[in-house]
């Protein structure tokens, strides 16, 4: 896809079998279901050449293992067919049946080697379990062997956390706070768990400009070094293995912090469509107080290199 200059990589759809997730925003269900005219028209309005598509939450992370395997495969086949109809406008991240980790690793390999997908997206916890737990390492191992990234996307916090932290404040459970805390915790646990030492080629993507981790990086690195023995510093792991996107985080200060901590080479453009509209996402990057060189990297060059587009 050498002609794709502007690439958005956290852009969602849903399959009929995995829809019905309670999305109430006006127009969101219609847009999630659209893999044709409406989607492409709104891409064109914002000057977006290519979307990397992913099944929206909750995907298959909280299904029974057998159902997760079946529906993840169907989702990936569904997306592959949509990409085949417009291969110059769409690419894909695989949905993985993480309730069966071995099957998830095999499905990742099938999606990459047979369907041409560019990696995978995991939607939060798997039946309340964090992704760094040992049964899931087979997925990391396969991703590293295939040289494709895993995108860690937010999902609802553990029910016990919801009860303890957000009882009486349901508005905080999702994107305002709970999603960020859950995904930040997933990411920090991955670093501390040893996964990245076992698979040094592993690449992980975080949306929303790093789920607040760039802002906290110095403090985590400084404090953790006094409490936990790791082969490398926390910040070193983060800078070498993680990539960030601008999905749903159109903030100049957050973008500048992320560039300062990781470099523009680690940041990629995303909108989080249809939960965020394309045009404001594009205007944010176009107006951001960054150099033309960095803007070009973020809008497409970094994604082309990482995803081999």
Q: How many CB atoms lie within 10 A of CB 157?
A: 25
Among residues 100, 106, 132, 272, the one annotated as catalytic is: 272
Is there a catalytic annotation at residue 222?
A: no
* Distance, C-alpha 273 to centroid of its chain: 13
Cβ atoms of 179 and 172 within 8 Å: the answer is no
Q: Do you know the residue count of the chain?
A: 309
Handedness of CA 280, 45, 285, 188 (dihedral sign): positive
Tell me the two tokens of residue 6.
């502007």
Cβ atoms of 211 and 184 within 8 Å: the answer is yes
> DSSP string covering the chain, please?
-TT--SEEEEEEE--GGG--S---STTHHHHHH--SHHHHHHHHHHT--EEEEEEPTTTTTTS-HHHHHHHHHHHHHHHHHHHHH-TTTEEE-EE--TTSHHHHHHHHHHHHHTT----EEEES-BTTB-TTSGGGHHHHHHHHHHT--EEEE--PPPHHHHHHHSTT-GGGTTTTTHHHHHHHHHHHHHHHHTHHHHSTT--EEESGGGTTHHHHHHHHHHHHHTT---SS-HHHHHHHHEEEE-TT---HHHHHHHHHHH-GGGEE----TTTS-HHHHHHHHHHSSS-HHHHHIIIIIHHHHHHT-
Active site residues: 272
């Amino acid at each position: 896809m050498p002609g794709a200059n502007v690439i958005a990589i956290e852009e969602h759809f849903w399959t009929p079998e995995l829809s019905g997730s309670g999305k109430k925003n006006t127009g969101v269900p219609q847009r999630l279901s659209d893999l044709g005219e409406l989607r492409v028209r709104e891409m064109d309005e914002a000057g977006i050449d290519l979307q990397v598509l992913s099944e929206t939450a909750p995907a298959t992370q909280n299904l029974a293992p057998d159902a997760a395997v079946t529906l993840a495969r169907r989702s990936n086949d569904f997306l592959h067919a949509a990409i085949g109809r417009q291969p110059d406008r769409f690419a894909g991240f695989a949905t993985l049946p993480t309730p069966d980790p071995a099957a998830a690793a095999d499905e990742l390999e099938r999606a990459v080697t047979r369907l041409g997908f560019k990696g995978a997206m995991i939607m939060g916890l798997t039946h309340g379990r964090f992704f760094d737990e040992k049964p899931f390492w087979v997925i990391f191992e396969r991703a590293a062997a295939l040289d494709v990234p895993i995108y860690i996307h937010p999902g609802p916090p553990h029910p016990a956390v919801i009860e303890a932290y957000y009882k009486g404040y349901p508005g905080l459970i999702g994107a305002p706070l709970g999603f960020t805390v859950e995904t930040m915790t997933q990411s920090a646990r991955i670093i501390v768990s040893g996964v990245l030492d076992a698979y040094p080629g592993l690449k992980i993507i975080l949306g929303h400009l790093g789920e607040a981790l760039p802002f906290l990086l110095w403090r985590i690195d400084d404090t953790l070094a006094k409490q936990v023995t790791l082969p490398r510093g926390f910040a070193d792991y983060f800078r070498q293995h993680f990539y960030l996107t601008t999905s749903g985080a159109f903030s100049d200060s957050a973008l500048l912090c992320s560039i300062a901590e990781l470099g523009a080479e680690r940041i990629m453009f995303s909108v989080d469509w249809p939960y965020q509209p394309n045009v404001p996402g594009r205007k944010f990057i176009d107006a951001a107080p960054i150099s033309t060189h960095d803007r070009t990297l973020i809008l497409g060059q970094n994604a082309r290199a990482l995803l081999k587009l």
